[in-house]
Amino acid sequence: MLFNTFKYYLFLPAIVLVYFLLPFRWRNALMLSASYFFYMSLKWEFGFLLLFISLVTYIAGLMINGTSIVKQRKIWLAAGVIIPLGVLGYFKYAGFFLGETASFLNSLGLDVRQSYLKIALPVGISFFTFQALSYVIDVYKEKIKTERSIVNLLLYVSFFPTLLSGPIERASNLLVQLKQEQHFSSDRLLEGAKLILWGLFKKVVIADRLATFVDQIYASPEVYGGSTLFLAALFFTFQLYCDFSGYSDIAIGSARIVGIRLVQNFNLPYLASSIADFWKRWHMSLTSWFRDYIFLPLSFALSARISRERILFMKTDMFIYIIASLVTWLLTGLWHGAGYTFMAWGLLQCIFLVFYRWQTKPAKRFYKSLGISQKNKMITLAGSLLTFITVMVSWVFFRAENMSDAGYIIAHMFAGWSRMPYLGSSAFDTALGLALIVFLFIIQVFQYHGIVSLNAGTSAVPRPLRWAGYALLLVMIAMFGVSTGQFIYFQF
């Protein structure tokens, strides 16, 4: 069952209605049953995998809490981390390594059919596995208390709004709320409905429309000129954002209706003034997960073991930052998928962030020598434009089928603009896609300045005009909505 299907909008109201009619003590059992029904409607076999990881997480948490012996606690921590990661690794990376092995054997003259080596990837496995891991690690570090109710813990891992593509929640936020009695609120209903409407608009009107053009160009990029490749890269930049942030809005809105406040996952990332600012705004639940469980522990571990002031002609803190960033971003790339393009994408983010940190102090001194404030509007605008172009180029690796295609697109997308870009099979759809990008940008600028609020909060727009805007979104969904099936991040 997908957020962009009619079935979901029969399922959600039914669950909400029964949820608030039931006594509090039965609500989490209902929500757990609904979450497994939601997940198993996609492929019923994967429900057993979800249950297995959840049970491992539950048992590991109990056993860690049940002993004060450090060695035994570490053993159960290892079990609670290694087993889910092993399952994730098998489904996500075994196919890649088997494929590489088959290619090598084929190069030696041995006939190995790679079609036999494909392993189906369970939808959402990266998301609910990371959610489970954070619980076990936080229990071990005594940041949270062990959850003794198996229903509550299983629901925390499988809560249907977050199950397929996040946000990746921590137990300190989601599990705590699941144990609190919620009461129906018409204000929350409207708040959640607005988020769902906006998310659905971004998905079916913008993202899926842009996908048609993007898929055609990326299927054979060598056929097209620079202006067409640039347009495809631009379209994918907004397709990815609208697809994933649209999912997050629907997830957050769905949870909001039943009184659960999920963490924010996107905060106007394409208005970021620097690459560091961008990664504070994009997929915030994932970046904070890698920061808290990979980057910071690794940085602290290296700091404790290195006593020298300088290493390789650089300050130790910079060296540690480079190593921790490299490991973190390569793992982030691998989290998205087993492929050289994802690793290259992760490496690029590391390079961008290291360069940004390296130039921060020299840039500050430079602007000061000119008597210019770094908060100058023109400098901020230039920084935002440079950041956007940088991110757009890196997304080419994210979308390209292989390194060869990615290299070709990047090498040609800024050249050969002497002819008009190819506008796809439908010039109207492509022109509409551009118009929708402009529309989205205007709305987000209004959000940035607090004129429009699509989340909770006050808005400077008069109420009749706001409701007219919601009606317009509904009309546009009905008139211009298309569907390409799944959300992009389901593959991760």
In the prediction, which pLDDT does 449 show?
A: 82
Q: Evaluate whether 206 touches 238 at the Cβ level (below 8 Å).
A: yes
% of the chain residues with pLDDT over 90: 67
Give me 458's structure tokens.
Answer: 């006050």
Which helix (H) or strand (E) segment is 39 a member of?
Answer: helix 24-40
Q: Work out the pLDDT band at 373, boundaries 50, 70, 90.
A: confident
Lowest mean pLDDT among 10-19, 72-81, 116-125, 218-227: 116-125
Pair 199, 146 in one domain? no
Same domain for 244 and 122, yes or no, is: no
Are 478 and 342 found together in one domain? yes
Residue 362 in tokens: 């020299």
Q: How far apart are CA 106 and CA 385, in angstroms?
A: 46
User: Could you tell me if residue 415 is inside a domain?
Assistant: yes
* Residue span of the structural domain in which 443 resides: 185-492
Q: Are residues 169 and 217 in the same domain?
A: no
pLDDT tens per residue, range 199-209: 999 999 999 99
Beta carbons of 4 and 200 less than 8 angstroms apart: yes
Q: How confident is the model at residue 468 (pLDDT cuts 50, 70, 90)?
A: confident
With 60 as the cut, is the pLDDT of residue 306 above it? Answer: yes
Cα dist from 21 to 16, 18, 34, 175, 185, whole Å: 9, 5, 15, 22, 13
What pLDDT sits at residue 453? 76
Which of residues 81 and 418 earns the better pLDDT score? 81
Q: What is the pLDDT at residue 274? A: 94
Q: Among the residues of 268-315, which ranges form H helices? A: 275-278, 284-290, 296-305
pLDDT digits (tens, 9 = 90+) for 202-258: 999 999 999 999 999 999 999 999 999 999 999 999 999 999 999 999 999 999 999
317 is a domain residue: yes
Q: Total domain count for the chain?
A: 2
Q: What is the DSSP letter of 315?
A: E
3, part of any domain: no
Q: pLDDT value at position 456? A: 53
Q: What is the DSSP letter of 314?
A: E
247 shares its domain with 293: yes
Does the structure show a pLDDT above 90 at 402? yes
| DSSP of 178-239 | HTS-----HHHHHHHHHHHHHHHIIIIIIIHHHHHHHHHHHHSGGGS-HHHHHHHHHHHHHH
Same domain, 270 and 332: yes
User: Which of 60-74, 99-113, 299-313 is least confident?
Assistant: 99-113
Last residue of a domain, one of 133, 158, 178: 178
**Nearest-10 Cα torsion for 443, 444, 447, 453:** 60
Q: Specify if 305 maps to a domain.
A: yes
What is the CA angle 297-300-303, rounded to 5?
150
- Residues near 406 by Cβ (< 8 Å), separated by ≥ 6? 341, 344, 396, 397, 400
Domain shared by 314 and 457, yes or no:
yes
The tens digit of pLDDT for each residue in 45-83 reads 999 999 999 999 999 999 999 988 999 999 999 999 999
Residue among 283, 336, 412, 449 flagged as catalytic: 336
491 φ, ψ to 5°? -75, -10
Mean pLDDT of 370-396: 89
Rounded to whole angstroms, the Cα distance separating 46 from 62 reads 25
Task: Report the distance separating Cα 32 and Cα 43, nearest Å.
Answer: 17
Let me know if residue 2 belongs to a domain: no
Residue 474 has pLDDT above 70, yes or no: yes
Answer with the one of 178, 197, 213 that is the final residue of a domain.
178
CB 155 within 8 A of CB 119: no
Same domain for 322 and 231: yes
User: CB burial class (10 A; 0-12, 13-18, 19+) of residue 326?
Assistant: middle
Dig out the tokens for 33 from the structure. Answer: 């049953």
Give the pLDDT of residue 106: 66
Angle CA 63–66–72, to nearest 5 = 60
For residue 284, the SS3 value is helix
Taking the CA atoms of the chain, what radius of gyration do you get in angstroms? 24
Q: Does one domain contain both 366 and 309?
A: yes
- Whose tokens are 């619980």? That residue is 135
Of residues 369 and 292, which shows the higher confidence score? 292
The pLDDT assigned to 99 comes to 67
Q: Are residues 277 and 422 in the same domain?
A: yes
pLDDT at 96 over 80: no
pTM: 0.92
The yes-or-no answer on residue 183 being catalytic is no
The pLDDT tens digits for 164-187 are 988 999 999 999 999 999 999 999
Average pLDDT, stretch 307-312? 81
Give 475's pLDDT tier (boundaries 50, 70, 90). Answer: confident
- 167 with 235, same domain: the answer is no
Query: ∠ CA(338), CA(333), CA(199), 5° rounding?
Result: 105
Domain boundary among 178, 198, 228: 178
Q: What is the mean pLDDT of residues 430-434?
A: 92
**pLDDT over 90 (residue 360):** no
Cα dist. 56→50, 117, 124, 283 in Å?
Answer: 10, 28, 18, 27
Is residue 109 very low, low, confident or very high in pLDDT (cuts 50, 70, 90)? low
**Rounded mean pLDDT, 304-309:** 85
Contact 163, 127 (CB under 8 A): yes
Are residues 209 and 166 located together in one domain of the fold?
no
What is the pLDDT of the chain when averaged over all its residues? 90
pLDDT of residue 458: 59
The string of DSSP letters for 360-425 reads HHHHHHHHHHTT--TT-HHHHHHHHHHHHHHHHHHHHHHH-SSHHHHHHHHHHTTS--SSPPP--S
Q: Name the one residue in this structure whose structure tokens are 């090498």.
A: 411
Asked if pLDDT for residue 492 goes beyond 60, the answer is no
